Structures are given as C-alpha cells and as structure tokens.
Amino acid sequence: MVEVEGLYHSYARDGRYAVEDVSFAIAKGETFGFLGPSGAGKSTTQGVLTGLLQLQKGAVTVAGHDMRKPGRAMFNRIGVSFEQSNVYDKLTALENLEFYRKLFDVETLDPMELLRTVGLDHVAKKKAGEFSKGMKHRLTFARSMLNRPELWFLDEPTTGLDPAIASEIKDIVKKRKEEGATIFLTTHNMYIADELCDRVAFIIDGKIKLVDSPRALKLRYGEKLVRIDARTEVGGTRS
C-alpha cells in the first residue's frame, strides 16, 4: 500500500536533510507505527506521503500512485487526521463535515453518523469555534474518515484527549483495522504504538533506526521482569 525507497527531504538549500535515506513498505491492512521524538522527521515523512510536501528525492508510492505526480484519485482513497485540529471555526461541526464531504468524488459516510461515532452528535449544530481543543480534535478525526479511507494517516490521534475519549478513538482505529484499512500512525507514545500497531519504525534525526513488530522489539530490548506479589495471613489477618 505504501512503498518508500531512499526518501530525502530538505527544507533549506544548505544540504541538510530533515529526513535522509528513509525506506520502508507498508502492506495492505497493516497498521504501521512511525515513532520518534519531536523534530525527528515524522511529520516530514507523513507530509511527503500525503502530498503536503513535494517529493524531492527518492521513490514514494502511495496506494499505487507515484508521489512525484499524485493524481486526484489518490486523495479519494486516503484520509488524514492532523495532530493540530484544523476545522473551520465559523462553521458548525456538521457544516464542516458537509463541506469537506463535497470535495470527494467517491461515496462518503453520513456526517451525522460520523459525529455520533466520535461523540459529537449532540453539538452537531454548534460552531466549531466554540469547541474545546479535544472536541476540535475529534472533529478533525471524524473528517478524516469521511471517504472511508483505504489508507488512513493518523498523526498523534489521542494526544490531548482525556483517557475515556482516547480509548474510544483507539476502538475506532481498531475497528477500521478489522475492516481492512491500512493505517499509518505517527506518534511518540510507545504504549499507543504497542496497542495498535503491527509494526513500528523508529526515526531519529531523520533516519530510520529500526523497523519491527512491537512484540519482537519488546522481546529483544525489553526488560525481563517478573513481578511477584506476596501475601501472608497471620492469625486470620492479611498483611
């Protein structure tokens, strides 16, 4: 579904690369975690994969489309949920989804149903400008599902959300995965990656250092820890 070979990207012409010789492939139906600290090159890589940044050097294919010249058709097949919510503040939640829905050439999901899925149906007619940060984030997340994307890019999908909402978001991601969607998950949270991803890649200083399954990585690098809780009963009293 995604093939990246020797990707380089620079923001300046000083020869310094934000990402350097990045290569990986994501199979159809796989959930691929892209981990790394801030400034490591996660967003740059995702930017190139989603067409937000022009491909400068390397070969990148997304959903069968060469990213040197991604066609309109590619955007009908992908969905992108941004870390920073970016919805129209002056439009209501429902209007936001209705507006973006019209941009797709494929059948889309019912906006009201999507709002229900992310728990925003009760504020569907409220302007997004009046929403809390978490609510805007959920609206951005819902928008990314409008076209039922085959390839779903999620950038820090649970950051800034309270645990209950974060859990609901994770459940939605798991459900889409079960339905066959391929997911590219950018995060710095190891626990989220462990819970959701089939494989993870670690990117540091623009270079991929490691790609493997969370389980294999835990076995290889995790601490072997056995925790024993002891309980004794003395004279009928537990201690």
Partner 1 sequence: MLPVFLAMNAAFMGLFIIASYIFLDKAEGAVKAFAVSPAKVWHYLAGKMGVVAVTGLASGLLTVALVAGGNVDYPLFVVLLLATNAFGSAVGLFIASFFDDLSSAMGWVFGSVALLGLAAVSYYMPSFSPLAVRLLPSYPMLFAFRETLLAAPDAGLVWANVGGYSAGTVVLFLLAERQYRRRMTA
Contact residues: partner 1, CB under 8 A: 47, 50-54, 72-73, 75-76, 78, 80, 82, 84-89, 100, 103-105, 140, 143
Nearer of residues 23 and 159 to partner 1, judged by Cβ: 159
**Are the C-beta atoms of 121 and 148 separated by less than 8 Å?**
no
Chain-centroid distance of CA 77 in Å reads 15
Shortest spacing between CB 52 and partner 1, in angstroms: 5
Nearer of residues 51 and 206 to partner 1, judged by Cβ: 51
Nearer of residues 5 and 89 to partner 1, judged by Cβ: 89
Nearer of residues 54 and 167 to partner 1, judged by Cβ: 54
Shortest spacing between CB 153 and partner 1, in angstroms: 8
**Are the C-beta atoms of 7 and 167 separated by less than 8 Å?**
no
**Are the C-beta atoms of 193 and 120 separated by less than 8 Å?**
no
Shortest spacing between CB 208 and partner 1, in angstroms: 23
Please report the beta strands in the chain, taking only residues with DSSP state E, as ranges in sequence order. Answer: 2-9, 19-26, 31-35, 57-62, 65-66, 78-81, 151-155, 182-187, 199-204, 207-212, 233-234, 237-238
Q: Hey, how many other C-beta atoms are within 10 angstroms of the C-beta on 200?
A: 23
**Are the C-beta atoms of 196 and 173 separated by less than 8 Å?**
yes
> CA nearest 11: which of 46, 41, 32, 31?
41
The SS3 of residue 239 is coil
Shortest spacing between CB 75 and partner 1, in angstroms: 4
**Cα dihedral 142/148/150/156 (nearest 10):** 0
Nearer of residues 49 and 208 to partner 1, judged by Cβ: 49
Shortest spacing between CB 64 and partner 1, in angstroms: 15
Nearer of residues 103 and 216 to partner 1, judged by Cβ: 103
Shortest spacing between CB 127 and partner 1, in angstroms: 13
Give the C-alpha separation, 22 to 207, whole Å. 6
